[in-house]
A and B are shown apart, each in its own frame.
Chain A
Amino acid sequence: MLKCDEVERMLSDYEDGALPFSKMVAIRFHLMMCRRCPALERSLRETIDVLRALRDEPINEGVDSEGNKGE
């Protein structure tokens, strides 16, 4: 079984389905058995969902490309 830190490093690829099938299955299995990683996976998925939803959101012009708030 994969270790948590191995899963953590592959989660981003897992969310995109960008891993070989065997790794996808191994991670799915780990997520079913682990007490810690499912919360991490949910959190990452939520982040990606929010990013995808940003596409159609108006841009916050009060923030420059370095995160500084304008006047």
Chain B
Amino acid sequence: MTGSLGTSRRPVPHQTSQEDPLPMPPTPLDAATIRELEPFLLRLAARAVRDPVLAHDIVQATFLSLIEPTSSYDATRGMVRSYLAGVLMRKVADHYRRQRRERVTGDFDETADGLDERVAFDPSRAMHPIDRSRAMSVIDHALARLPDQQRLVVLACDVEQMDRAEAASSLGITEGNLRVLLHRARHELRKALEDAKMR
């Protein structure tokens, strides 16, 4: 009896051959790309899911998505970085959905229907300056409490400083939608920082 393990194994990237029954399309996934993009993807995933092991798994699955036969990556349509960021965001969103199903909470805000929310701001209130590390801690905690899409938009645009077009494309939303989500998220975070100064 011949073992099935050897025959079912997928070819390693770049090893496309004429005899291969499932020839792999050329892929941009090489060691240099992985070295270059892994830190960026790991930071994004780690801050999004707050679990280093899960973040590694998501990044690995993200890279693997490039060499899957179903990969929709098209080098003529954009940078591999944006494509991978998009795949990663979708995997993170899947994780959020699973988490939500388990916890039965309902804070996912996909509506983003406008910029009408007024954020109360009274400059006359007594403020106490807070040091940088406390400010970072306050913002980091507030970031974790944001609705999922707002959190991903802030991680992409502010923390990783992706440009808006790239972030919107990665998240699969319009730039207008991204603008609204970013506005809301930043104001929530700003409020958290100001509240911390009041304490």
Tell me, yes or no, whether B36 is within 8 Å of chain A by CB: no
0/1 interface trace, chain B 182-194, chain A, CB 8 Å (1 if under):
1100110110011
Q: Is A3 an interface residue (CB 8 A)?
A: no
Q: Is the CB of A65 within 8 A of B50?
A: yes
Known: A46-B135, A48-B158, A51-B158. A9 touches B142 (CB 8 A): no
- Chain B residues lying within 8 Å of A13, measured Cβ to Cβ, are 179, 183
User: Is the C-beta of A71 less than 8 angstroms from some C-beta in chain B?
Assistant: no
Contact with B along A19-49 (1 / 0, CB 8 A): 0000000000000000110011001101110
Known contacts A16-B164, A43-B193, A55-B159; A61 and B136 CB within 8 A of each other: no
- Interchain CB contact under 8 A, A12 and B182: yes
Given contacts A12-B183, A65-B48, A66-B107, whether A60 and B137 have CB atoms under 8 Å apart is: yes
Is A63 on the interface with B (CB-CB < 8 A)? yes
- Supposing A52-B158, A66-B144 touch, asked if A47 and B186 sit within 8 A by C-beta, the answer is yes
Residues in A whose Cβ lies below 8 Å from that of B51: 61, 64
Count of interface residues, chain B, beta-carbon cutoff 8 Å: 47
A27 to B123 Cα, complex, angstroms: 18
**B123, B145, B161, B186: the one within 8 Å of A12 (CB):** B186
A36 to B115, CA, bound (A): 19
- The answer to whether B193 touches A40, judged by C-beta atoms less than 8 angstroms apart, is no
- With a CB–CB cut-off of 8 A, which chain B residues contact A54? 47, 136, 139-140, 143, 159
User: By the criterion CB–CB under 8 Å, are A63 and B50 in contact?
Assistant: yes
Q: Are A67 and B193 closer than 8 Å at their CB atoms?
A: no
- The interface bits of chain B over 95-122 (1 if a CB of A lies within 8 angstroms of the residue's CB, else 0) are 0100100010101000000010011010
- Residue contact A43 to B190, C-beta cutoff 8 Å: yes
Q: Determine whether the beta carbon of B159 is less than 8 Å from that of A8.
A: no
CA distance A67 to B145 in the complex (A): 5
- Which A residues have a C-beta under 8 Å from some C-beta of B? 5, 8-9, 12-13, 16, 18, 35-36, 39-40, 43-44, 46-48, 50-55, 57, 59-61, 63-67
